[in-house]
Structure 1
Amino acid sequence: MPTSHPPQDYEELIRIIHDRHDQMSKTYQRIAVYLTQNPNEVAVHSVNAIAERCGIHASSFVRFAQSLGYKGFKELQALFQKRLATAAPGFEARVKALETELKGAGDPTEIGFLRDLVVRDIASLQQLLDEVNPEDLALAADLLDRADIIYLIGQLRSSPVVELLRYVLTMLGKRCVLLDPGGGLATHIGRTIRKTDVLLAVSFRFYANEVVNVVEEAGQKGIDIIAISDSTLSPLARWARVLFPVPEHDYTFSRSLAAPMCLAQALVVAVAARVQHNDEDPRIPTVTGT
């Protein structure tokens, strides 16, 4: 059923999308995820270009907008354009410059592949900087600093992020437990997390079942959860006290970890500042010896 009064601003639109997501068709769910993951791209591209990037016919985007009470997709898109003009002036120019550079490269060599990936990662990191919430960063660092034990979980492509976090947080003197899938014990170890601990979970599409299950059980117990995922519609979002949605872009067969790894490093540097009481020049202990 279409909404009688369509959302009048971006925040209301996203709230309604979240409220209705579980009742949407599979196609509409894919559209909802794309809209929430890529608000800047939605603002600056045509519906045909957006549909092509999403792999869904443009008419489905029009019907999606109409189901929310809009006459067509352009009315929905106007909310994204207003958000972009207010929150991130200059982004459209960066997008166009990025696309121009990529099209102009046309270099199907090894160094060409490297150049394309680096250019796109630069744009991804800039988007992270533009969109990350400073209050969320501060709260996450406080939670990690105060936790008796920091539990970390991330599987498949997310594994490098939690491995880095375990290494650096341990070097800072924090007690860390990695919920490794080996032996099938991650779920059982997750049940030992206490309310004085923190769970930091990392998961992207297609979300690892064990990660989702551990987060859900911990969330039901009232455990503080910090989540790094790809969308505010991620199954981790419901239970996270702090959620860092890091949109992914399908510009290669293996999605880049540049942005989530950078975010993880920022978190541990913030924890280092708290542990050492040195906000101006926090340092991580140097590992020496063999």
Structure 2
Amino acid sequence: MSPLLKIRSERDQMSAIERRIADYLLENAHLLRDYSSQQLANALGISQSSVVKFSQKLGFKGYPDLKYSIGEAVARGDAQDEGAVAEAIDTDPHVALAERLWHAKTRAEEETRLINPPERIEAIAEAVQNARRVFIIGLGEDGIPARALALKLAMIGILGVHHFDPVLMTASTASANAQDVLLVFSEFGKQTVLCHLARSFAATGGKVVSVTRHTPNPLRAHADYALLVSAHDERAHIEPLLYQSALQQLLDLIFILLCEHGQGRLSQLDSSAERIQDMLDT
């Protein structure tokens, strides 16, 4: 894995000082060949040992190894930033804007894929595939992908129970057992009511799947499986777009696994689509 990609994907898990180092490395990757660990520490106003520990935490022997690895990534073009993308286009500013957004979404989706190992994705898909019922909840904006997933599951014959009200979901899950699955969508995983719901559901023996950012949060602590999204940008109006894009890519992957691994799922999808189209045509 590229060291720059590794830094981006693990940034949400870092301490405040580690994030400062990470951001500096990402923004100045092409200049690091001229920086010693002491010079980097001086530029950030931190101790040299913090730089060394940061490098070792990423799996390198020390800062020189990290610097060399980043240098190789820069040479391969892994560190091409959004400004370079815009300069390369040299056309209509709207084209440059679209290219920068695409570049940022691609990076977020790649980071998200790397922090969700295939075996975890397979385990979640299998749990949903074999579930008696799949309960799905998300509050506010988190309710949008939750509702979309519930519709997709219904299209392939998987019984999904979707609510955007935790009280209604609590009532619906009262009869849950070990054959059921609960998917809880919460970007930051901090809503107390959702944590309580996940804890109560786990007590029935059912499987809980949390869908949150790649940050330590209470909801993840109550989940059997955690779907994680890595998407960050300093611009407040861009970061939610990256989160939604990376999350959708993750959910689409699970949906494809359900369609292709489940017996009769594709034919069920075709039948459902035909019924809906017949209804719309009348």
Question: Under a length normalisation based on structure 1, what TM-score does the superposition of the two structures give?
Answer: 0.66
Give the structure 1 partner of residue 38 of structure 2.
none
Give the structure 1 partner of residue 145 of structure 2.
161
Give the structure 1 partner of residue 54 of structure 2.
76
Deviations 1:200-229 (A, max 9, x none): 112112634432331222224332012221
Give the structure 2 partner of residue 120 of structure 1.
104
Of 214, 223, 226, 2:206 maps to 223
Instruction: Please report how far the alpha carbon of residue 139 of structure 1 lies from its aligned counterpart in structure 2 after TM superposition.
Output: 0.7
SS of alignment partner, residue 82 of structure 1: coil
- 2 CA distance for matches of 1:273 and 1:283? 12
Give the structure 2 partner of residue 171 of structure 1.
155
Structure with the larger helix share = 2
Instruction: Please report how far the alpha carbon of residue 241 of structure 1 lies from its aligned counterpart in structure 2 after TM superposition.
Output: 1.5
- 2 CA distance for matches of 1:107 and 1:206? 41
CA contact (8 A) 2:143 2:164 kept: no
Give the structure 1 partner of residue 119 of structure 2.
135
Of 245, 269, 275, 2:228 maps to 245
Q: Aligned pair 1:261/2:261, yes or no?
A: no
- 2 CA distance for matches of 1:282 and 1:263? 23
Of 84, 87, 96, 1:101 maps to 84
SS of alignment partner, residue 173 of structure 1: coil
Deviations 1:125-161 (A, max 9, x none): 1222333211111111110011000000112222222
Of 188, 191, 209, 1:205 maps to 188
SS of alignment partner, residue 162 of structure 1: helix
5+ residue gaps, structure 1: 1-31, 51-57
User: Higher mean Cα deviation, 142-151 or 159-168?
Assistant: 159-168
* Amino acid aligned to 2:259: A
CA contact (8 A) 1:62 1:72 kept: no
In structure 2, relative to structure 1, the CA distance for the partners of 1:35 and 1:45 (3 Å cut) is same
* Amino acid aligned to 1:174: I
SS of alignment partner, residue 195 of structure 1: coil
SS of alignment partner, residue 233 of structure 1: coil
- 2 CA distance for matches of 1:153 and 1:228? 10
- 1 CA distance for matches of 2:26 and 2:122? 39
Question: Under a length normalisation based on structure 2, what TM-score does the superposition of the two structures give?
Answer: 0.68
Mark the structure with the bigger radius of gyration.
2
- 1 CA distance for matches of 2:146 and 2:59? 35
Give the structure 2 partner of residue 274 of structure 1.
261
Q: After TM superposition, which residue ranges in structure 1, 4 or more long, deviate above 4 angstroms?
A: 40-45, 47-50, 88-95, 105-112
In structure 2, relative to structure 1, the CA distance for the partners of 1:107 and 1:34 (3 Å cut) is farther
- 2 CA distance for matches of 1:125 and 1:136? 17
- 2 CA distance for matches of 1:48 and 1:130? 18
CA contact (8 A) 1:143 1:198 kept: yes
5+ residue gaps, structure 2: 1-9, 29-40
- 1 CA distance for matches of 2:169 and 2:191? 12
SS of alignment partner, residue 218 of structure 2: coil
Aligned-pair RMSD on alpha carbons? 4.1
Instruction: Please report how far the alpha carbon of residue 124 of structure 1 lies from its aligned counterpart in structure 2 after TM superposition.
Output: 1.1
SS of alignment partner, residue 270 of structure 1: helix
- 2 CA distance for matches of 1:91 and 1:222? 46
Instruction: Please report how far the alpha carbon of residue 37 of structure 1 lies from its aligned counterpart in structure 2 after TM superposition.
Output: 10
In structure 2, relative to structure 1, the CA distance for the partners of 1:112 and 1:46 (3 Å cut) is closer
- 2 CA distance for matches of 1:217 and 1:232? 23
